[in-house]
């Protein structure tokens, strides 16, 4: 996303998240960057950057959880809604892990 190393303050690392359809594993990091930030998006990798306030992600009315089945085993799928967008899949699992680790009051 074109971030300069000097602009990123890493706070920690979350658990790896493996995708269901591509079998990629993601090692997510939590970091602080200045806001607003002039992202430089590679259109071959990222279609669009969606900036969502944390308070929106903590709003239970914007969160949905479903149980699905793959290879005969149930698994949970998470969804967040914001301004007509649905955030789901690996991204939603990463966000859920972050939100479960840190209550809203941690960020306020």
Q: Write down the pLDDT at residue 56.
A: 92
CA angle 51, 42, 81 (to 5 degrees): 25
Predicted model pTM: 0.86
3-state SS class at 100? helix
pLDDT tens, residue order, the chain (108 aa): 999 999 999 999 999 999 877 889 999 999 999 999 999 999 998 989 999 998 899 999 999 999 999 889 999 999 999 999 999 999 999 999 999 998 777 666
Q: Write down the pLDDT at residue 7.
A: 98
What fold characterizes domain 5-107? Nucleoside Triphosphate Pyrophosphohydrolase (3.90.79)
Burial of 14-41, coded b for 16+ CB within 10 Å and e otherwise, reads beebeeeeeeeeeebeeeeeeeeeeeee
Q: Write down the pLDDT at residue 87.
A: 96
Domain boundaries, the chain: 5-107
Total residues belonging to the chain: 108
Q: Write down the pLDDT at residue 64.
A: 97
Radius of gyration of the chain (CA): 15
């Amino acid at each position: 996303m074109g971030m300069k190393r000097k602009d990123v303050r890493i706070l920690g690392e979350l658990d790896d998240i493996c995708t269901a359809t591509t079998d990629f594993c993601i090692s997510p990091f939590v970091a602080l960057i200045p806001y607003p930030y002039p992202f430089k998006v590679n259109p071959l990798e990222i279609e669009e950057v969606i900036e969502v306030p944390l308070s929106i992600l903590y709003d239970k009315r914007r969160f949905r959880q479903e149980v699905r089945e793959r290879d005969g085993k149930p698994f949970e799928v998470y969804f967040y809604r914001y301004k007509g967008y649905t955030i789901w899949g690996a991204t939603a699992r990463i966000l859920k892990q972050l939100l479960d680790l840190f209550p809203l009051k941690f960020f306020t």
